[in-house]
Structures are given as structure tokens and as C-alpha cells.
Amino acid sequence: MTDSSSSSWYQVYVKLRFFSRIRRLLVHKNSSSKQYGPSASQSGDHRRTQEIIVDQGETRFVAGISESNNCGGGGGDDDDDDDDDDDGILQRSVKSLHFGSREEKAAAAREIKRLAGDDLRRRKLMAALGVIPPLVVMVGSEYAADHRRLAVQALLELANGTCTNKALIVEAGIFLKLSQNVNIEESIKPEFAQLIMSLSSLVNAQFPIDSSKILPLVLYMLESNSSVETKLLCLGTLYNLSNMIGNVGSLVTNEVIHILLKLSSMKEASEKALATLGNLVVTSMGKQALENSPLVPECLIEILTWDDKSKSQELSAYILMILAHQSSLQRTKMAEGGIVPILLQVALLGSALAQKRALKLLQWFKDERQMKMGPHSGPQTRRSSFSSPMNHVDAGEGKKLMKKMVQQSLYKNMETITRRANGDSDKSNAKLKLLAISSSSKSLPY
């Protein structure tokens, strides 16, 4: 054992001895006051509140006695006894975590997990007593699977609801320990995935998280035969990491993009996978990585046909909009993939946001040969010879011809949509034909 670690253990030992002596002093003082009887101003139950404040090697104890005028009798004594028991268990657990055998550490981790679930103040107290570093050590691959699982569960309870404890867990080297557990057992994958996702939420508080240290384990769990619950937790981790621009470089690799696109085709995981892709595609590296993927745009176009997954439709249309913007090559690939009829279907039957995005894409695909991409609003229509202001007669003829072409195109697409949705219902076809005949290009928002 090094000098620094010996000094650290000694400081923890001093804190525990101090805590124990103060507790015994308060118990003795409380029993003495009961022996002589309560004064008139102190009638009723007595309840103690204790708090330990550890600040850079200095330990201070703050104790207070709050009073109530309840005339019930013994309920408060039972609470005090329970608190005393928990304090004693906590003291022994902390000591066992630092100095006990592996079996004793496992038992201590189990007690820490139970006690940490009671209240937030106790979780902060445990962190102040130094339980986090030995629990992080227990996550290492040199420990048995059951011991690692207990340590991870205890860390999950300690991290619940406090960014401070999460930061202490990260600073204790948890990611290095997790990276040593790539080939973890199936039984402890959910706990590992949940802990990683909980810690990755620190990026929302601008706490630096090195994604390269946890990506190997996350990708392994995503590619292996993990449960859907584990995959969703891992996708939540990737989404949290994608919220920080500094992590984009490590997330836009071919492996990560391929896994996200493959999972986006699973209806159970599509929303989280597409949300992560939506964060990545707005960057130049992310957009280029998606453009180079052989799964794009086919898998995204397929998602547009999911009528029962409106959120997935909206996210897929969003990604397609960014890919199509200022990229005639991508628009050509989408058109060859049959996106136009599907966009018409979404524009008619999708959610409000999906309809808006589908109509925007349709505007860009309208007569692609006579359009060019503008700096902000997508492709703009070139001036044709019949639309020249020098010849109003030709301009009028051109508008009539364009109106006729739009009506014919809309009529054909209406028939296709009707056959898909209603199974060639005569009644529905009649309504859609009537709608197509009475429609004009002015009714479309483009």
C-alpha cells in the first residue's frame, strides 16, 4: 500500500472514530435527560437530526434537537433506535469497504445499496465518508460477477438525484473499470447499461465526459444478444453523448453510424436511434458519415411508411431534409428510391409536423431538372422561357400547362395511396378522385 493510500484510509478511520464517539455522546446525553425528566418547555417527543460535513480533511459535526408538543409517548424513541441501528450499520459497512475481505466488501455494498435508497441526504453523507472509491474498485474485472453487480447497484443508488455523486464516481475512475468489462455476463448487462446512462447525463450539466472510454462497452452491448431494455439504455447513453459537440468525432465512425441505422429499423428502438442520428447529422462530419452509408436513404424512406410510429416518421423526415438540402446527389438517390409517393402519403396522413416536413421535401423534388438549391430555403425554380415577363401570353400558357401536370400527377398518386390504404375501395377511390379533380396547384403549399 502506498503512502497516499495509507493516509487516505487513516483519514477515513479518524472520521469514523469521531462519528462513533459523537453518536455515543448524544445517546448518553439523551438518556440522561430522560432520567431527570423533561422540563416544561421540552415536553413531548425529542427527535435528533445529525449532519456530518466533510470539507478538505476537516470534519465538523452539526447536531440539533427539534421539539414537538405531541403527547403520544414512545413513537419517537423507536425512530431514534432505527436511526441508531442504521448509523451503526453504515459505520461497519464503510469500515468493511475499506479494510474488509472481498466477501465483507460484498456484504457492505449490499447494505450501502439499501441505506442509500432512503433519502438524498444520506447518499451525500455516504459519499462524504468515502464509500465511492472502494465501490468503483469492486467494479473491476478481478472481482466475481456477483460482487461487481452489487457494487454497480450501490453506485446506482448513490448517483440517484445528485450530480455531485455522479461526478465523484466519474473522477474515481469508473469508466476505466467499465472498459475492462467488455465481455461481461448477460446477467449484469442491464445494471452496467443503466449506470453508464446515468453517468452520461452529466454532459447536460457541461461536465466533460470522455466518450471514447465507454463506447467499446456500449457498442458491444448493442451488437450482442442483449435484451431490448439493455439496448434502449445504451441508446440513451449515445443520445446523451451526442448532445455535447466534443463527442461527435468519436460518434461518427462507420461502426456507430451503421449500428444506429440498423437499430432505427427496429420499431422498439427507432425513436432513440433516430434522435441520436438527428443530433449527429447537423454537423458536417455526421452528415458526411450518413451520406457515405450504404443504408441511406433506403432505411430512412422505409421508416416514413410507419403510420403507427409518428415520432419516427418526424425524425426520419428531419434527417432526410438535412441530407437533401443543397445536395442534388442525395435528392437523386432519394427519388430513385421512390420517396415521392411516400412523401405524398405522409403529407396526407401523417402528423402535423411530419406533414410539414414532407411538404417541404416535396417542394424540393418538384421538377428537379429545373431547380437549384438556394442558400437557405432549398431548391429554387429557374426561370423558363414561357415564364418570362416579356411575353404575358406565353406565361399564361405555361401556368396552365403546369397546373394540368400537377393535377395529373396528384391524381395518379392519389390512386396509389388509395389502393395501399383502403384496398381498392370504390367509395374511397371516388372521394379521392373528386378531391384530385377539384384540386389545383394553388392548394399545395409549394
Convert the pLDDT of each residue in 211-267 to its tens digit: 888 898 899 999 888 899 999 999 999 999 999 888 888 899 989 999 999 999 999
Task: Tell me which of 435 and 266 has the higher pLDDT.
Answer: 266
Least confident of 102-106, 155-159, 318-322, 439-443: 439-443
360 vs 364: CA distance, rounded Å: 7
Calculate mean pLDDT across residues 310-314: 96
For residues 283 and 248, is the Cβ–Cβ distance under 8 A?
A: yes
How far is 271 from 236, CA to CA, in rounded Å? 10
Closest to 141 (Cα-Cα) out of 96, 109, 188, 107: 188
Contacting residues for 329 by C-beta, under 8 A, at least 6 apart: none
Asked whether the beta carbons of 265 and 303 are under 8 A apart, the reply is yes
pLDDT of residue 393: 53
Alpha helix positions (H), 283-425: 284-291, 298-303, 310-324, 328-336, 339-349, 352-365, 392-422
Reading the block at residue 296, the C-alpha cell is 441511406
Query: Whose grid coordinates read 417541404?
Result: 360
Mean pLDDT along residues 348-363:
93
Task: Supply the pLDDT for residue 39.
Answer: 42
Long-range contact pairs involving 270-275 (C-beta distance under 8 Å, separation at least 24): 270/303, 270/306, 270/309, 270/312, 271/309, 271/311, 271/312, 271/315, 272/232, 272/235, 272/236, 272/239, 273/235, 274/303, 274/312, 274/315, 274/316, 274/319, 275/239, 275/315
CB 134 within 8 A of CB 93: no
Element of type H or E holding 81: helix 75-99
pLDDT digits (tens, 9 = 90+) for 296-310: 999 999 999 999 999
pLDDT band at 327 (very low <50, low <70, confident <90, very high): confident
User: How much is the pLDDT for 17?
Assistant: 59
Answer whether 214's CB lies under 8 Å from 177's CB: no
| Amino acid in position 344 | L
- How far apart are alpha carbons 415 and 348 in whole angstroms? 13
The model's confidence at residue 419, banded by pLDDT at 50, 70 and 90, is low
